Chain A
Amino acid sequence: MLESVRNNKRVAQIILALLIVPFAFFGLDSYFQDGPGGTDVATVGKSKISTAEFDQALREQQDRLRESMGGEVDRALLDSEPIRRSVVENLVNQRLLALHAADSRLIVTPQQLQQVIAGVDAFQQDGRFSIERYEAAVRAQGMTPAMFESRLAQDLRMQQVAQAVGDSAFASRESIRRFLTAQLEERKVSELQFPANRFVGEVKLADDAAKQYYDANGERFERPARLRAEYVVFNQDAVLGQVSVSDEAARKFYDANAERFSQPEERSARHILISAAADASADAVAKANEKAAGILKQLRADPKRFAELAKAESQDPGSASRGGDLGFFGRGAMVKPFEDAVFGLGKGQISEVVRSDFGFHIIEVTDIKPAHARPFDEVKGEIVEELKRQEASKKFAEQAEVFSNTVYEQSDSLKPVAEALKLQIRTTDWIERVGGAVGDYTNEKLLNALFSDEAMTKQRNVEAVEVSRGTLVSARVVEHQAAQRTPFEQVKGAIEQQLKTEQAAKLATERGEAALASLQKGESVSGEWSVARSVQRAKPELPQAAISAVFGASSTKLPAYVGAPMQGGGYSVFRIESVNRIDIAKDDPRLKALEGQYQRLVAERDFNAFLTSLRGRYAVNINTAVVRPPQQ
């Protein structure tokens, strides 16, 4: 390299000159914008959605689903294509909005961020924002406050668009009124019924009709294969009884993790803020400083007026109304100059004017909780519990292998594994492939394994299956019965009954339709019409097909006749006698009630249309291989 530079000086100089230009004007960033490659789940415009991002989003979605369904959910279901697809679509939509927000230069101001965080219920204690709770809650999610804040800022930027496009959507009142008028329209109808059972007597079945049906629909008379199995369950609970923790071990843990059991120093303070942003003009800064100095002078004269002055003068919206009180906080919670001032003062002392990025503060320390350690006896129980669980989890990991190996190596019985690990062998009742359960477990993989030819005929142990996190199950077929067809004689009666009902329904429809045709030609039809009653679209007292027929009929010429199939295989003809369209006043309360729903409907449509339009601006490519669930 150096050799060639020497030999080709001019070329090298030109190259160097070219390199300097971007460094000088654009910094190093322009060289590193494209990260390392790898398989991506999708590309949106020029940005990529990585597999790691997808995996995390998928995991979060699965956790949510598991929580909402309660307890054990089949993994195959949680990993199914529709769920994977919805997670990808969601990520793509988020990315589209983020790109759009960036290109449109949408921003979130620090004040906005601060106000939003202060307003979250989960971060509040006794009705006010608590910095400790905030940090604890954020860390519980596996994030630092900085990470959380940047995520939140991203969300808020997207929300700006969602609010303008979605939340502010409105529907025409006339549109809503039109829909409501239709829903409340009343039609008075009387009904002429043709119930199926009236025609059962007329049905003549051919002698071999049942047999033919049986032969043609053989699979309907089959009882699927079924089996009884015995099984063993191995989980952490199974080993928890085998571990114990000594007092010395607990003591050692306590000593080694002293900082976990100690509470660092905390102070409570109140402050008065005169805002002056970091980039404010010199003039504004001087003015703010002067004002702060004035307030400080008043306080020096009469320190008791702190709360009153904070209420009147402080420009920190979060604390002003509480007399400037910020509650207790530890180190690292506040901006540096503020923290230095607070931790440099004694209790009851008032600081000089302190400058931070927010402006000028006057601070009083109201209380100090010194650092202290929790005594060993108080935390011993906690420690023993934790160590026990750690030990059990270690033991479980070791023995899980023993479990898997034993059921595999001594595959003609579950006894060896049960004895080795002190497990109980349980048996199932008869179970079928579809809808079957091994004890509490409905795991697909386990059932598939049991119903394999190998497991059924050779009665071998099936391989250990992890039915849920930390729970292994192995099972073995005790006896099985192959799929069987029920003999014709046993089902003949039922088939005949069914065929008769079907034919009767057909007859009912034929007669009903014939009657309807005559009525529509103006001829009269014999039969017993019901007493006329009022029906509404919104109150479906009739089956959907009938409602649709009655309200779909033109009302220009009354009476009008329509027909519809009814439940139970019958048919009904309806005579529409009168139509009553209610005139809805502009201030009808029912309009107001419907408005919210109608608005949500159009809001969703509009927002989705906007997202679709973004897909036109940023090319979206989804890696379909990722959407398909992985093969097990």
Chain B
Amino acid sequence: MAVYDLEEQEQISELKAWWVRYGNFVTAIAVAAALASVGWQGFQYYKNRQAGEAGALYFALEQAMMKGDAQRTREAAGQLIEKFPSTAYAELAALASAGVQIEKGDAKNARAQLEWLLAKGSDPALKDIARLRLAAVLLDEGAFDQALAQLANAPAPALKARFEDLRGDVLAASGKPAEARSAYQAALDALAVEGADGSDTLREVIRVKQQALEG
């Protein structure tokens, strides 16, 4: 190695002094950063692995759904909820399975899955939809007050019309035509505000139901 000139020697000794003073500190920071990074990547790995296993289960659920196999759909959803409750798949599974259960006339299990989603789910949009569907199940079971309770809190604006429409149905079914009329009106108003294309059919359906109220 070449001989250092004076300036460089000076620099080297300066650097050494600096290292003596801050070396531990720098090492500690580097180690902490490395640990944090490894930890973060490990966490990501863990999450991805979970998602992979949950995805395979969800695929089984989709297939059972396509075959209209309510029991296997329910089992797959149950496993997802039990083993991977914090994945998005668990929430989707609850929603999907509830639809299949209702189709097969099993309101009890549909309710349980929707209630789980409401209690443990984290996606507010999915929870709004779950509330709406739970209220529909409750309406068909004749539990009008419980259905109204589900619909009491305002949902995201895009679901307002659907909520008010169903509220109208519940109120009409429980013999309160005047309140039903104003709920239907609120639904129609929400559709008017939204002004979206493709809402004509829903508007017509609500209008007919409103008109047909007795009293």
Residue numbers of A with Cβ under 8 A of B are: 9-10, 21, 25-26, 104-109, 111-112, 160-161, 163-165, 167-175, 178-179, 181-183, 185, 537, 551-552, 554-556, 581, 598, 601-602, 604-606, 608-610, 612-614, 616
B32 adjacent to chain A (CB < 8 Å): no
Contact of B156 among A168, A183, A554, A612 (CB under 8 A): A612
The one of A165, A598, A614 in contact with B129, judged by C-beta atoms closer than 8 angstroms, is A165
Q: Chain A residues near B95 (CB, 8 Å)?
A: 164-165, 168
Most chain A CB inside 10 Å of its own CB: which residue of B87, B92, B157: B92
> Which B residues touch A10, using CB under 8 A?
15
- Is B78 engaged at the interface, CB distance under 8 Å to the other chain? no
- When the two chains form the complex, which single residue of A105, A171, A183, A554 contacts B88, counting CB atoms closer than 8 Å? A105
Query: Can you list 11 A-B contacts (CB < 8 A)?
Result: A109-B52, A111-B56, A112-B59, A160-B58, A165-B92, A167-B99, A172-B139, A605-B199, A606-B132, A609-B129, A612-B157
Given contacts A165-B95, A608-B196, contact A107 B201 (CB under 8 A): no
- Residues of B near A164 (CB, < 8 A) are 91-93, 95-96
Contact B102 A170 (CB under 8 A): yes
18 further A-B pairs in the complex, CB-CB below 8 A; given A164-B91, A170-B103, A613-B156: A10-B15, A25-B34, A26-B37, A106-B88, A107-B51, A111-B59, A161-B92, A165-B95, A168-B100, A178-B209, A178-B212, A555-B214, A581-B214, A598-B205, A602-B162, A606-B132, A606-B162, A609-B125
Given A551-B211, A602-B162, A609-B125, is A170 in contact with B99 using a C-beta cutoff of 8 Å?
A: yes
Choose one: A107, A175, A608; the contact of B166 (CB below 8 Å): A175
CA distance A554 to B212 in the complex (A): 9
| Centre residue among A112, A174, A556 by max chain B CB count within 10 A | A174
B156 x A182 contact (CB < 8 A): no
Cross-chain contact A182 with B201 (CB below 8 angstroms): no
Contact A168 B99 (CB under 8 A): yes
Q: Hey, which chain B residues are within 8 Å of A169, CB to CB?
A: 99, 133
Instruction: Evaluate contact between B51 and A105: CB separation under 8 angstroms.
Output: yes
Q: Is B208 on the interface with A (CB-CB < 8 A)?
A: yes
When C-beta atoms are compared, the residue in chain A nearest to B50 turns out to be: A105
Q: How far is the CA of A551 from the CA of B209 in the complex (A)?
A: 11
Cα-based distance from A525 to B48 in the complex (angstroms): 80
- Let me know if B159 is at the binding interface, CB within 8 A: yes
B53-97 toward A: CB 8 Å interface, digit per residue (1/0)? Answer: 001101100100100000000000000000000011101110111
Among the listed B15, B129, B212, which residue makes an inter-chain contact with A182, where contact means beta carbons less than 8 Å apart? Answer: B212
Q: Binary interface profile of B, 198-215, with partner A (CB < 8 Å = 1, else 0)? A: 110110010011011011
Q: Is B183 an interface residue (CB 8 A)?
A: no
From known contacts A174-B139, A178-B169, infer whether A604 and B198 are also in contact, taking CB-CB under 8 Å.
Answer: yes
Shortest Cβ distance from A105 into B: residue = B51
Interface residues on B, range: 35 or more
Is the beta-carbon distance between A551 and B212 smaller than 8 angstroms?
yes
Q: Are B55 and A609 in contact (CB under 8 A)?
A: no
Note all chain A residues with C-beta closer than 8 A to B11: 9
Q: A105-B48, A174-B140, A182-B211 are in contact. Are A168 and B162 (CB under 8 A)?
A: no
Query: Are A610 and B125 touching (Cβ within 8 A)?
Result: yes
Question: In the complex, what residues of B have CB within 8 A of residue A606's CB?
Answer: 129, 132, 159, 162
Complexed CA–CA distance, A165 and B93 (Å): 10
Q: Is B28 an interface residue (CB 8 A)?
A: no
Say yes or no: A21 contacts B33, CB within 8 Å: yes
Among A185, A609, A613, point to the contact of B212 (Cβ < 8 A). Answer: A185
Select which of A163, A168, A185, A614 is within 8 A of B125 by beta carbon: A614
CA distance A174 to B34 in the complex (A): 60
Query: What's the minimum C-beta distance from B193 to chain A, rounded to whole angstroms?
Result: 13
Q: Would you list the 6 A-B pairs with minimal beta carbon distance, nearest first?
A: A168-B99, A104-B88, A182-B212, A613-B125, A105-B51, A172-B136
Whole-angstrom distance from the CB of B18 to the nearest CB of chain A?
Answer: 8
Whether B149 is near chain A, meaning CB under 8 Å from some CB there, is no
In contact, B209 and A182 (Cβ under 8 angstroms): yes
Q: For the complex, what is the distance from the CA of A174 to the CA of B125, rounded to whole Å?
A: 25
Contact status A608-B158, CB under 8 Å: yes
Q: How far is the CA of A178 from the CA of B65 in the complex (A)?
A: 29
Please report the C-alpha to C-alpha distance between residue A500 and residue B176 in the assembled complex, in whole angstroms: 50
Question: In the complex, how many angstroms separate the beta carbon of B168 from the nearest chain A beta carbon?
Answer: 9
B175 sits at the interface (CB 8 A): no
Q: Note all chain B residues with C-beta closer than 8 A to A581.
A: 214
Is B47 part of the contact surface with A, judged by Cβ < 8 Å?
A: yes
Asked if B126 contacts A165 (CB within 8 A), the reply is yes
User: What residues of A have a CB within 8 angstroms of the CB of B91 in the complex?
Assistant: 164
Shortest CB-to-CB span from A536 to chain B, Å, is 12
Q: How far is the CB of A5 from chain B (nearest CB, A)?
A: 13
Q: How far is the CA of A602 from the CA of B196 in the complex (A)?
A: 15
Chain A residues with CB under 8 A of B214: 555-556, 581
Report yes or no: A168 in contact with B212, Cβ–Cβ below 8 A.
no
For B191, give the chain A residue with the smallest CB separation: A605
Return B210 CB to nearest CB of chain A, in Å. 9
Residue B23 interfacial (CB < 8 Å) = no
Question: What is the CA–CA distance of A108 and B209 in the complex, to the nearest angstrom?
Answer: 43
What residues on A are CB-neighbors of B136 within 8 Å? 170-172, 175
In the assembled complex, which residues on chain A have CB atoms less than 8 Å from the CB atom of B59?
108-109, 111-112
